[in-house]
Structure 1
Amino acid sequence: MITVQDLAAQCAPMVAPSTMAAVVQHESGGNPLAMWDNTGGRRYLPTSVHQAVQILRRLLAAGHQVDVGIAQVDSENFQHYGLTVRSAFNACTNIHAGGEILQAAWFQAKHAGLHGQTALFHAFEAYNSGGIYGDAGYAQAIYAAAGIPAVVHLAHGYRYATTASLPAHEVKTRWSSDWAPKSNWNLGG
């Protein structure tokens, strides 16, 4: 048995393990077979990889957009990150793609002039929605999953806050500021 933080450290070293663990906790609860059908608005929790692959193939054939696996990588991102219907259910492969998506979202926020925890907050928004001003509720949920009170003051005067069940600590990144994502990446998670 491996913890999500250990899995993240091994498979998504571009993201601090505690940060990726918070994303995973909120997205799938750590279930590598979890799926959310964005088109149909339904969660699927298969009990085997075989069953998961069958369900996903059926949904994709029907033209559905599906968040897949431990990091809930959007099926629209499969080609860019080299995922297949089967490999998307591999926890290491999936969390690696999720880490790359979050890293790209971080640099999208940095490119927009955001810094520190504010940039990370908006990177979480982009992980979910594709835009750094996409879904503040989602970003708050990630902070809550990490046990962190999210209080972010933005240049626009907004203040987001949520309560936490654990002592406060900063969510960390491991990214250098000299890398920039491709502008045409779909960052939806």
Structure 2
Amino acid sequence: MMEFLELAKVCAPQVHASTLVALVRQESGFDPLVIHVNGKPGRRIRPKSWAEAIQEARKLLDQGASFDAGYGQINSGNWSRLGITPENVFDPCINLRAAQRVLVECYQGAGRNHGGQAALYAALSCYNTGDYTSGLRNGYVRNVLAGAGLEVPALPRAAPETKAAPMGQRTESAKGEPKRPGDADGFGRRHDTFEQPRADAFAKPRPDAFAQPRADAFAQPPSTRVPVGSIIYHSRSQE
């Protein structure tokens, strides 16, 4: 886990490491090569090598399938927009940068209508489904929190559904079933989802992670952010 935390800090510095841990646990169970093929029924492919993973991804693209890949389960529908290819989607750092980009974009959008921890819940919903409320209803947000070994709060009542900006990457076929939580890791403290004393999920410690203006909700000003040109985000149906 320490290796993953170090990777997260380097490759996705705008998202608090504990937030990324909870999300990746839910998405891929920390398997950088896993592929989830969307549809009914969905299926999971666990390649044994990087070369095999690339081959499977190419084959699925040729078939026109909708699928999610890598640590953050980046959906194939977003690959072109974000410069992702079968050759780089399984790179742990590229994949985490993609997850960062999508989650940050979702959080910025959620902040227009939500405050406090509700903005993070809405952002997680957006990451999973492409809108700010479906991930609350289908159990995804609850699973992310519970999978982190946390007390699950009463989630805010979903407001009338608000569509996320185009970065919300879930395909229609990917909505609905919450993903199976990944294996629990050792981060078993029960204080708060995003660490004590509530460090901002998007990096800067302050009394409340999401109560402040969104302008400084990131580790660096937008003009100095880590390049994320090949970043993606997932659009998977949950298991």
TM-score category by the smaller chain? 0.7 to 0.9
Contact 1:117 1:170 survives alignment (8 Å): no
CA contact (8 A) 1:105 1:187 kept: no
Q: Retained in 2: the 8 A contact 1:35–1:67?
A: yes
Q: 1:10 to 1:165 in 2, by over 3 A?
A: closer
What is the SS of the residue equivalent to 2:78?
Answer: helix
Q: CA deviation at 1:124?
A: 0.8
Deviations 1:122-173 (A, max 9, x none): 111110100001122101111112222231453659xxxxxx9641214232
How many residues were matched structurally? 177
Q: Which amino acid aligns with 1:27?
A: E
Cα RMSD of the aligned pairs, angstroms, is 2.5
Query: Which structure features the higher share of helix residues?
Result: 1
Partner of 2:190 in structure 1? 167
Contact 1:102 1:127 in 2 (8 A): yes
Q: Point out where structure 2 has 5 or more consecutive residues left out of the alignment.
A: 160-186, 195-199, 204-212, 216-221, 223-231
Large movers: runs of 4+ above 6 Å = none
Note the residue ranges of structure 1 that are not aligned, 5 or more in a row: 158-163, 180-184
Q: 1:26 to 1:60 in 2, by over 3 A?
A: same
Q: TM-score scaled to structure 1, two decimals?
A: 0.84
Deviation string, structure 1 residues 74-113 (Cα, Å, up to 9, x no partner): 11121222211110000000011011111111112112x2
In 2, distance between residues paired with 1:71 and 1:17?
Answer: 13
Identical aligned pairs, as a percentage? 31
Q: Show the counterpart of 1:160.
A: none
Q: Which has the higher contact order (CA 8 A, sep 6+)?
A: 2
Contact 1:130 1:187 in 2 (8 A): no
Superposition TM-score, scaled by structure 2 size: 0.67
CA distance in structure 2 between the aligned counterparts of 1:90 and 1:29, rounded to whole angstroms: 16
